[in-house]
Amino acid sequence: MPAHHGVDVALTVPSTDELDEALNGVVADRVASRIAAQDPTLWGPDAESEASIRLSWTQLAESSRPLVAEIEALRAELHDQGIDHVVLCGMGGSSLAPEVICHTAGVDLTVLDSSQPDMVRSALADRLDRTVVVVSSKSGGTVETDSQRRAYEQAFTEAGIDPVQRIVVVTDPGSPLDEQASEAGYRVFRADPHVGGRYSALTAFGLVPSGLAGADIGELLDSAEQAQAALFADDVDNPALRLGVLLGVANRHGVDKLVLADRSGHGIGDWIEQLVAESTGKQGRGILPVVVPDEDAPNFVPSTTDSIITVIGQSQVGVIERTARLAGNLAHATLAATLGDNPPVDDSAVPTALSGYAAVVDGPLGAQMLLWEVAVAVAGRLIGIDPFDQPDVESAKKAARELLDGAGDVPTPDFSEDGIDVYGAGSSLADALDRLLDQIDVERGYLAVQVYLDRIAHADFAEVRETLAEQLTRPVTFGWGPRFLHSTGQFHKGGTPTGVFLQITGTPHDDLAISGRDFTFGSFIDSQAAGDAAVLRDHGRPVLRLHLTDVEAGLARIRELLA
Ligand SMILES: O=P(O)(O)OC[C@H]1O[C@H](O)[C@H](O)[C@@H](O)[C@@H]1O
């Protein structure tokens, strides 16, 4: 195996027999029904103690029912007071589910999952007099969420509004946030502690903000409940087993990218991204999701041999056949994991050469969430990792903390050009970029673009993913910082060591103090970027950081260079 790959699994293609064998194996081992029965031994002895406190997600369709009426009553109470704008403060598993639930339902939810000062400011300035803020944190110790809470407490107080009337907390029982919020008199929803963050979509974490915003959370639970029989069946037709086997077997053959064409139009790709990246990306192994807008996007066509291509939200026969054809392998496409009206696939038009992996996944939102959770648990067993921990997220948090405490080395730019401070080698900005991109391994590498800016104000910049993917013909991911740190950040540091990282940071228009803290939002997000870059470099990964002293001009310059 060539050393430059940094991966010890050769890229090969399994036979249809191997996929069938693995599928028969998980059926014979009763994996689906044992997941439903919350058997913690499924992932081996090392994962057993974590798994024994992480499997309650299998029964949420029933156990979360009592929350529906409680949340709906609170929504009605708030509406009576003219409070109809819901803001969610939270990161990762505490924000990605409500975001997709509300988007799918077509209801308005402001998701504040950032420490970027301008973005925090914009949220604070938006309809404060009509706003209820849900502060969600399972651990109760996430610094972004704590800082957002402090910002809203201060804003409400300054506006003469009692924060106790406007802040609702979701957390695990006994967390520091639970103690603090209960003492302050806030309304606290205590979630099931035996469910991990990224599996918590159907707990209070997903339901409270979504229900307050007006999504039909009863229907969401109904759709999960209706899918349970199919998803927990020890049966070769179980779509979750089929998807999990596809992911697991492909990964054993060195395939470690999952290109998701998110045709749902509601952003379920971002939720799946966290579930897959944090659950599998560890011990130098795992699967990196690459979220793309549709099946025509670069990285989907053409795809690379180290990718599984997946269409979400379009189980029409034409889409299934086309996906199968692109992957060149009907066997994989017949692993289409669709729920509900699942049309039959016409095999006749599709070539059967074995050269790739594909899946089409569809179904109502609650059902699909459960489907992906079961599939990822199955894949984790086949890959041989613990799907319930996230060991490498902490390292970046620690490095950021040290920088804030003045303990770490504050990085200094290597040079500046056109108002852009460059942290990396090169004779010019263009040269520094070329040098970074040249380090992407042509067979196994990927580029991760990590942008620590206001993701609402600069949303268009995400299009550089398409430009770069087209030019590089290698998988390119795009993540907004610090949001991605709670998602793909785990894979970047703990997964297959094949990433190359372009970090973009910027000077905010206006920094913002955090009440009761000796650091500002601006210094916090800077430390988060610098801390993560330091950890990536410690892992031997190339990182180029570009700091934009004038964000608008800097982004325009980067676009120009990349085009
Ligand atoms: O809900 P919290 O405890 O605040 O955690 C928010 C996020 O924090 C960390 O980054 C974890 O890696 C995520 O899995 C989690 O969802």
Tell me if 547 is assigned to some domain.
yes
Q: What is the pLDDT of residues 476-508, one digit of tens each?
A: 999 999 999 999 999 999 999 999 999 999 999
| Residue range 436-440: mean pLDDT, rounded | 98
Q: Are residues 499 and 419 in the same domain?
A: yes
Strand 187-190 with 110-112, pairing = unpaired
| Atom in ligand 1 nearest the alpha carbon of residue 200 | 16
The side-by-side arrangement of strands in the sheet containing 415-417 is: 415-417, 420-423, 543-548, 499-506, 446-451, 476-480
From residue 456, give the alpha-carbon distance in Å to each of 112, 350, 506. 10, 42, 15
Q: Are residues 426 and 548 in the same domain?
A: yes
Q: Give residue 175's domain range.
A: 58-215
Q: What is the pLDDT of residues 209-240, one digit of tens each?
A: 999 999 999 999 999 999 899 899 999 888 89
CATH number at residue 129: 3.40.50.10490
Q: Are residues 196 and 229 in the same domain?
A: no
Helix, strand, coil share (%) of the chain residues, nearest 5: 50, 15, 35
Q: Are residues 97 and 23 in the same domain?
A: no
- Res. 346 pLDDT band, cuts 50 70 90: very low
What is the percent of the chain where pLDDT is above 90? 78
Q: What is the pLDDT of residues 54-110, one digit of tens each?
A: 999 999 999 999 999 999 999 999 999 999 999 999 999 999 999 999 999 999 999
**Using CA atoms, how far apart are residues 498 and 476, in angstroms rounded to an integer?**
12
Strand 85-89 with 415-417, pairing = unpaired
159, 186, 215 - which closes a domain = 215
- Which one has a higher pLDDT value, 516 or 356? 516
Q: Are residues 555 and 449 in the same domain?
A: yes
Q: What is the pTM of this model?
A: 0.94
Contact 235, 229 (CB under 8 A): no
Q: Are residues 89 and 192 in the same domain?
A: yes
Find the 262 Cα to ligand 1 centroid distance in Å: 23
- How many Cβ atoms from other residues are within 10 Å of residue 221's Cβ? 22
Tell me if 369 is assigned to some domain.
yes
Q: Is 91 near ligand 1, meaning CB less than 6 Å away?
A: yes
Tell me if 46 is assigned to some domain.
no
Range list of H helices, 106-175: 117-124, 143-158, 163-166
CATH number at residue 31: 3.40.50
Q: Which residue puts its alpha carbon closest to atom 11 of ligand 1? A: 486
Find the 90 Cα to ligand 1 centroid distance in Å: 8
Find the 398 Cα to ligand 1 centroid distance in Å: 14
> What is the pLDDT at residue 344?
41
**Which stretches does DSSP call E strand in 270-317?**
288-292, 307-312
Q: What is the pLDDT of residues 158-178, one digit of tens each?
A: 999 999 999 999 999 999 999
Question: What type of residue is 219?
Answer: E
183 CB-near residues (< 8 Å, 6+ apart): none
Question: What type of residue is 388?
Answer: F
> What is the pLDDT at residue 317?
61
Q: Is 89 near ligand 1, meaning CB less than 6 Å away?
A: no
> What is the pLDDT at residue 312?
85
Instruction: Enter the DSSP assignment of 100.
Output: H
**Using CA atoms, how far apart are residues 539 and 35, in angstroms rounded to an integer?**
34
For the question of an ipTM over 0.90, the answer is yes
Q: Is the dihedral of CA 317, 323, 327, 332 positive or negative?
A: negative
Q: Are residues 257 and 281 in the same domain?
A: yes
Examine the pLDDT at 332 and tell me if it is beyond 80. Answer: no
Q: Which helix (H) or strand (E) holds 85?
A: strand 85-89
> Half-sphere exposure of residue 484, counting CA atoms within 13 Å on the CB side?
26
Q: Are residues 315 and 406 in the same domain?
A: no
Task: Using alpha carbons, select from 367, 369, 69 the residue that is nearest to residue 211.
Answer: 69
Q: Are residues 249 and 194 in the same domain?
A: no
Find the 190 Cα to ligand 1 centroid distance in Å: 16
> What is the pLDDT at residue 341?
45
Find the 509 Cα to ligand 1 centroid distance in Å: 28
Three-state DSSP state, 313: coil
Task: Using alpha carbons, select from 199, 211, 172 the residue that is nearest to residue 188.
Answer: 172
First to last CA, the chain: 35
Tell me if 53 is assigned to some domain.
no
Q: Are residues 529 and 482 in the same domain?
A: yes
> What is the pLDDT at residue 356?
64
Q: Is 41 near ligand 1, meaning CB less than 6 Å away?
A: no
Q: Is 488 near ligand 1, meaning CB less than 6 Å away?
A: no
Pick the range with the lowest mean pLDDT from 86-95, 189-198, 402-411, 429-438: 402-411
